[in-house]
Amino acid sequence: MIMKSSNVVWHQSTVTRQNRQEQNGHLSAILWFTGLSGAGKSTLAHAVEDALCKMNCRTFVIDGDNIRHGLCADLGFSSEDRVENIRRIGEVAKLFTEAGIIVLSAFISPFRADRDRVRELVPEGDFIEIYCQASLEVCEGRDVKGLYKKARSGEIPNFTGISSPYESPEEPEIIVKTGEDSLEACAQQVIEFLQVRGIVQPTSA
Amino acid sequence: MIMKSSNVVWHQSTVTRQNRQEQNGHLSAILWFTGLSGAGKSTLAHAVEDALCKMNCRTFVIDGDNIRHGLCADLGFSSEDRVENIRRIGEVAKLFTEAGIIVLSAFISPFRADRDRVRELVPEGDFIEIYCQASLEVCEGRDVKGLYKKARSGEIPNFTGISSPYESPEEPEIIVKTGEDSLEACAQQVIEFLQVRGIVQPTSA
């Protein structure tokens, strides 16, 4: 765009995603962690981020902690609001990829259609769906936040896995067995995928 | 947080804003460009980003181009929607500062209360208000997108400066005379402010 003032011409410059990726030494992508409450999505996302940070990558985790009281503070848990919640998270994740960052999103995101909508929002290959597979028994057994207990007693309605369905991914890029494997092993599995895909550089062993 | 699975303990690790800032070699902040349509907010934001990028800083511009059709695609131009628009932009900008990035936002953001709400959202010093000062005559004379013509004919209602007020900042951190000065001079003024504030390192002259 050229903008003509009285006597000066203003040119619009652009720093591209490509520029940023070169600056960072890695590609950007969305790592979309999905699974039941208590499956370990957020903990795994932070562990992967920690490993990537040690490899000098630029990363950011979006999860309930920084989204629910901020960007999506106006949304409740109705079906409509849950769709809008995931839509906004997808749009924010997209902005982060444009900024050259590996963004890790950790939300139950129980519905296939919502996740697929985010996948379609970005260029092919940018959306990496990571299914955090843990049985309801394991998740409910952990019940870190006491939510399952409240869901069973009816105090929390529409709780995924109890009173609302979880639609597991049909063709996720990665399945991590967060109900069985160690955090370290799960994180390593994600890092290796990113290396094979060429998103980050292989680590010198 | 410690999460106990059957036989493994999962610890939550955290990469902090402090870590990211050290990794990047500069602090993060919100550069909030405000002013009339045609004042050059977006062009200046991109010019500042370009200069910062050459100084190897991590930056990102949010403006109408990447917000209006994405995160805020569901919003119109009613008073209520305009408030929500700025609220979401503020929340996204906050996330970027937490990610260690200098985020440059370029929106008319005509109302003081909306801008002040963003200022209060983040720690003191993070919000840098940059008033792009250009007279209505200059902006309307440029009319790059033909919007003023449409506003004058009534085709666009509630147009800032014509049929809706613009509340200029009372104590902005920076005033740039975008109606008079060159793009280069305005960009340089912003960069120097960031250096004096210690957000970015002084350049070796």
Question: Tens of pLDDT along chain A (205 residues)?
Answer: 455 544 456 777 899 999 999 999 999 999 999 999 999 999 999 999 999 999 999 999 999 989 999 999 999 888 899 999 999 999 999 999 999 999 999 999 999 999 999 999 999 999 999 999 999 999 999 998 899 999 999 999 989 999 999 999 999 999 999 999 999 999 999 999 999 999 999 875 4
Which of the four pLDDT bands, split at 50, 70 and 90, describes residue B9?
Answer: low
Residue B44: list chain A partners with CB under 8 A.
Answer: 10
What spatial distance separates the first Cα and last Cα of chain B, rounded to whole Å?
A: 48
Q: State the helix-helix crossing angle for A79-98 and A112-121, rounded to 10 degrees.
A: 30
The pLDDT tens digits for B20-36 are 999 999 999 999 999 99
ipTM surpasses 0.85: yes
Residue B189 has pLDDT above 70, yes or no: yes
- Lowest average pLDDT, out of B3-12, B70-79, B154-163, B177-186, goes to B3-12
Q: How confident is the model at residue B11 (pLDDT cuts 50, 70, 90)?
A: confident
Given a contact cutoff of 8 angstroms between Cβ atoms, the answer to whether B12 and A42 are in contact is yes
Residue A130 tokens read as: 């990571």
Per-residue pLDDT reduced to its tens digit, B102-111: 999 999 999 9
Q: Domain residues of chain A, as ranges?
A: 15-196
Q: How far apart are CA B86 and CA B67, in angstroms?
A: 11
How far, in Å, CA of B119 to CA of A182, rounded?
Answer: 42
Where are any strands of DSSP class E within A12-58?
Answer: 29-34
pLDDT at B55 over 90: yes
* pLDDT greater than 70 at residue B3: no
pLDDT band, residue B13 (cuts 50/70/90)? confident
From the CB of residue A184, how many other CB atoms can be counted at a distance below 10 Å?
Answer: 12
Residue B4 has pLDDT above 70, yes or no: no
Chain segment B145-176, per-residue pLDDT in tens = 899 999 999 999 989 999 999 999 999 999 99
**A167 Cα to chain B: minimum distance (Å):** 23
Distance from CA of B6 to the nearest CA of A (A): 8
Catalytic residues of B: 109
Q: Which fold has domain A15-196?
A: Rossmann fold (3.40.50)
> Could you tell me how many CB contacts below 8 A there are between chain A and chain B?
136
- Give the CA dihedral B47, B53, B54, B57, nearest 10 degrees: 130
What are the C-alpha distances in Å from B150 to residues A12, B76, B140? 24, 17, 11
At B77, is the pLDDT very low, low, confident or very high (cuts 50, 70, 90)? confident
Nearest to B113 by CA among B28, B45, B34: B34
B56 to chain A: which residues are within 8 Å by CB?
A: 23
Token look-up 């804003």 returns B17
Six-digit token string for B159: 């147009």
Cross-chain CB nearest to B3 (options A74, A99, A144)? A144
The pLDDT of residue B79 is 85
pLDDT for position A78 = 84
Look at residue B6 in the predicted model and tell me its pLDDT: 45
> Exposed, middle or buried: residue B152 (CB in 10 Å: 0-12, 13-18, 19+)?
middle
pLDDT at A6: 45
**Do the chains contact at B182 and A8, CB–CB below 8 Å?**
yes
CB B170 within 8 A of CB B150: no
Which pTM value belongs to this model? 0.94
